[in-house]
Amino acid sequence: SYRKGGYHAVRIGDPFAAGRYIAQRKMGWGHFSTVWLAYDTHSSKYVALKIQKSAEQFAEAALHEIEFLLSIADGDPSNSKCVVRLIDHFKHNGPNGQHLCMVLEFLGDSLLRLIKFTRYKGIELNKVREICKCILIGLDYLHRELGIIHSDLKPENILLFSTIDPTKDPVRSALTPILERPEGGALNGGSTMNIIEKKLKRRARRAVANISLRRVSMGGAAEAPKVTKSLDGIDMRCKVVDFGNACWADKTFADEIQTRQYRSPEVILGSGYSFSADMWSFACTAFELATGELMFAPKSGQGFSEDEDHLALMMELLGKIPRKIATGGRSKDYFDRHGDLKRIRRLKLRPLDRYLVDKYKFCESDAREFSEFLCPLLDFSPEKRPTAQQCLQHPWLNLKTSTV
Ligand code: ATP
Ligand code: MG
Ligand code: MG
């Protein structure tokens, strides 16, 4: 992928935007981009630098993402709505072409890594509540104030706040000689860089190169399974990220949205979708946080498709799909006229609260309360699901389970 039209190869210490940002190390990547930890010499803060692949379709996708990120930043001047903040964007020319770059506020690990960190056992309900509140604040903002459907909500696209203190970080101390000299960034406009500065820069690069990837992951804890039990003291605040698939609710364009396991029934059935599709994904995410496992993990089998398995799993946990829903869109392909699946006949019914007790060893009251929170969000009728705003009022979010 590091060829014409693809990713831009970055070396530690590389300057971007005429020296404003200095690349420090790679933090992640996706289908469209690599994401680097960078130092912003203007604000003296860390930022996440998302460098898009250069081919036209990726540039277009980046412009699309920037459009949403600009509206998001515009409507939230105090940056308190639990959605990632765009700081800057620019173009960068490299050997593989011209890359659109997004500068985002620097965040920490994804909820997916948090779940892995628990060895797929799930996190304590009190912490799940904290995370759910943040996600709902983000969704309420996107839906009600901006009219945006995220369309790909899942643990991977929700990032925790970083717990790293940049002032105590050796990366920063290594760079301090060049970045924080009183006369200001000599790196701005690289051509004026003198020999001493070049030497310092080389030294900083070497120092930075010695710092391993684990530094930004929850203070390093994620790499040390021995401390698995202790998520104590980790502030469970998070933000929604990745607007590469977002859309305006009044002009949805793609038929198929959402990552498979978080996909809502109306999207599977091709009967149109709106904000409530995000609410379905939200419920799947909350379940996964609490149990450590996917709520639905459909597979195709002999004589049935992945879609049909997915619908069967939903019906096993949530009951039969109402007739009205089982007749719209693509439904005729899957359901007979009684509203039963044509090709998967025998369902193992297991209501959500029982499932939480039997499979995940929830106590009766936790299971009942949690499923009372989730079930309305998993209504097969999208218009019956609570909105993010309504969901924020749910008593479950303010319960406190005592932990022994
Ligand atoms: P995808 O294939 O998921 O659409 P993408 O190319 O659009 O990928 P993102 O999902 O935005 O890229 O980012 C890729 C990864 O980079 C994330 O999973 C995360 O690990 C990291 N990352 C993204 N944004 C930030 C941020 N603001 N702070 C810290 N890390 C980030
Ligand atoms: Mg992503
Ligand atoms: Mg993306």
3-state SS, one letter per residue, for 160-217: ECCCCCHHHCHHHHHHHHHHCCCCCCCCCCHHHCCHHHHHHHHHHHHHHHCCCHHHHC
Contacts of 68 (CB under 8 A, 6+ apart): 148, 243, 246
CB 109 within 8 A of CB 256: no
DSSP-assigned beta bridge partners for residue 101: 51, 90
Q: What is the mean pLDDT of residues 38-49?
A: 96
Backbone angles phi, psi at 33, to 5 degrees: -160, 165
Predicted pLDDT at 323: 87
Q: What own/partner pairs with CB < 8 Å and gap ≥ 24 does 87-94 have?
A: 87/40, 87/47, 88/17, 88/20, 90/16, 90/17, 92/8, 92/16, 92/17, 92/51, 94/8, 94/9, 94/54
User: Residue 55, Cβ neighbours under 10 Å: how many?
Assistant: 15
Strand (E) or helix (H) holding 266:
helix 265-268
Check whether 221 has a pLDDT greater than 50. Answer: no
Residue with CA at minimum distance from ligand 1 atom 21: 28
Q: What is the mean pLDDT of residues 47-58?
A: 97
For 59-94, how does the pLDDT look when each residue is reduced to its tens digit (9 = 90+)? Answer: 999 999 999 999 999 999 999 999 999 999 999 999
Dist. CA 32 → ligand 3 center (Å): 7
Q: What percent of the chain has pLDDT over 90?
A: 74
Say if ligand 1 is within 6 A of residue 48 CB: yes
Active site residues: 152
For 114-170, how does the pLDDT look when each residue is reduced to its tens digit (9 = 90+)? Answer: 999 999 999 999 999 999 999 999 999 999 999 999 999 999 999 998 766 544 554
Structure token pair of residue 208: 């930075």
Nearest residue to 143 (alpha-carbon basis) of 280, 278, 281, 284: 278
Ligand 1 atom nearest 84 alpha carbon = 27
Say if ligand 1 is within 6 A of residue 35 CB: yes
Contacts of 212 (CB under 8 A, 6+ apart): none
Q: Can you give the three-state secondary structure of 280-297, one letter per residue?
A: HHHHHHHHHHHHCCCCCC
What is the complex's ipTM, to 2 decimals? 0.98
Residue with CA at minimum distance from ligand 1 atom 5: 30
For 7-31, how does the pLDDT look when each residue is reduced to its tens digit (9 = 90+)? Answer: 999 999 999 999 999 999 999 899 9
User: Residue 199, Cβ neighbours under 10 Å: how many?
Assistant: 12
Say if ligand 1 is within 6 A of residue 160 CB: no
The residue among 47 and 324 whose pLDDT is bigger is 47
Give, in degrees to the nearest 5, the angle at Cα 387 between 398 and 124.
Answer: 35
DSSP-assigned beta bridge partners for residue 97: 94
- Single pTM value for the model: 0.85
Pick the ligand that lies closest to the CA of residue 27: 1
Pick the ligand that lies closest to the CA of residue 246: 3
